[in-house]
Amino acid sequence: MHLLFVREHQRIVKELKTKQPTWSDNILYLEARKIVGALMQQITYGEYLPLVLTDDVRNNNGLKLLDDGFSTDYDPKVDPTIRNEFAVGVFRFGHSQIPDGLGHLLHDFNTIQEDTPLEDLFLDPKLLVTNGGSKVVDLARFIITEEAQKVDRFFESSIRNTLFGITDLTSLNIQRGRDHGVAPYIEYRRYCGLSVPTNFDELTDHPESTRQVLKDAYNDEIEDIDLFVAGVSEIPMSDSTFLGPTFSCLLSEQFRALKVGDRFWYEREGPGGFTEGK
C-alpha cells in the first residue's frame, strides 16, 4: 500500500509540473504530499470506515466526510496520539482478515496468473523489485477485487503457524497487549458504557459457541479475557460492517481524535487546507 501511494505521489508531481512549470521541487513535493494526504483521509474515512463501523457509530462520532464546504470540528484540546490499546489490541483486528495466499490478477481483470502462499512472501522483498515492480500492480488488482474476510476468532494458518517461518501472530498480539499493560476486555466494556459481564453466559455480544471456547480457554475467569481476543470475536454490529460494539467504540474514538485533533485535516479552511475549488 505504501508503494502505491508513493507512486501516486510521483504521478501527481509530474502532473503539477506541467501545470505549474515555475514551482520549485520543494513546492511540488509539498503540494503533492498534501494531495496524497487528502486522498488517504478520503479513502480511510469515506470508503474504509463505512465497512468497519455502522452509520450510527460514524454519525455519533463525527466520522463522516462533508459533501461540500469546510469542516470546523478542529479541537486543539484533542490529543490525536495513537492510544496504547488501539495499537496493541483494537486495530490488529485486521489480522483476522489476512488471507492464506495472494494471487496476481492481470490487466484484463480476469486472469489470475499465479497464487502465492502468504508464508512464501514473508521477509522476501523480491516481489517489489521483480520486473521493475510490475507484480505489485497485479497484486493490487487481486487485492481490490477479492472480498475481504470477516473479522472473527479464526485466523489463517500462515500467520498462526508460519509467520516469519515459525511465529504465531495471534499469540504475539495477545502477549503484546499484556506487555503493554492493556486492561482486561470487561474494563473496556465498562469504559464504553456497555453491559459488563460477570460470567461467560453474560457475554451476550458473542456467539454461544464462542462463549464456551472462551470459558474453557480462560478457565472460567471472566476478568482475565484479553481485549484483543474478545474484541475480534464479538458479533459485528451489522451484517455489512466488521466490528462488534467494544471494538467499534474504541476504534471510533481513535479515528475521531485523529480527525478533530488534526489542524491540517484536508477539509479545513485556511493555510494548510485546500480552497473549495481544489
Which H helix or E strand runs over 245?
helix 245-260
User: Which range binds ligand HEM by CB under 6 A, 24-32, 92-100, 252-260, 263-271?
Assistant: 92-100
Per-residue binding letters, 130-169, with ligand HEM (x by CB under 6 A): -----------------------------x---------x
User: Which range binds ligand HEM by CB under 6 A, 28-36, 59-67, 95-103, 213-221?
Assistant: 95-103
**206 annotated among ligand-binding-site residues:** no
The answer to whether 87 contacts ligand HEM (rule: CB under 6 A) is yes
User: Which range binds ligand HEM by CB under 6 A, 72-80, 89-97, 181-189, 246-254?
Assistant: 89-97
- Nearest CA to 244 among 96, 79, 80? 96
Distance CA 128, CA 217 (A): 40
Task: Give the three cell numbers for residue 222.
Answer: 471472566
Pick the binder of ligand HEM from 35, 54, 85, 92 (CB under 6 A): 92
In this chain, which residue has its C-beta nearest to ligand HEM? 94
The residue (of 123 and 132) whose beta carbon lies closer to ligand HEM is 123
**Coil, strand or helix at 105:** strand
Pick the binder of ligand HEM from 94, 133, 270, 272 (CB under 6 A): 94
Cβ atoms of residues 128 and 3 within 8 Å: yes
Pick the binder of ligand HEM from 91, 155, 185, 218 (CB under 6 A): 91
Pick the binder of ligand HEM from 16, 172, 192, 235 (CB under 6 A): 172
Cβ atoms of residues 254 and 178 within 8 Å: no
* HSE-up of residue 194 (Cα within 13 Å, Cβ side): 20
User: Which range binds ligand HEM by CB under 6 A, 29-37, 86-94, 107-115, 250-258?
Assistant: 86-94
Pick the binder of ligand HEM from 83, 153, 176, 268 (CB under 6 A): 176
Cβ atoms of residues 157 and 100 within 8 Å: yes
Least separation in angstroms between CB 143 and ligand HEM: 11
Distance CA 9, CA 35 (A): 8
**Coil, strand or helix at 126:** helix
The answer to whether 127 contacts ligand HEM (rule: CB under 6 A) is no
Distance CA 157, CA 276 (A): 48
The answer to whether 272 contacts ligand HEM (rule: CB under 6 A) is no
Which pairs count as long-range contacts for 128-131, CB under 8 Å and 24+ apart, including other chains? 128/3
The residue (of 95 and 189) whose beta carbon lies closer to ligand HEM is 95
Distance CA 209, CA 121 (A): 34
- Nearest CA to 143 among 114, 110, 106, 104? 104
The answer to whether 62 contacts ligand HEM (rule: CB under 6 A) is no
The answer to whether 98 contacts ligand HEM (rule: CB under 6 A) is yes
Contact residues: ligand HEM, CB under 6 A? 87-88, 91-92, 94-95, 97-98, 159, 169, 172, 176
Residues annotated within a binding site: 95
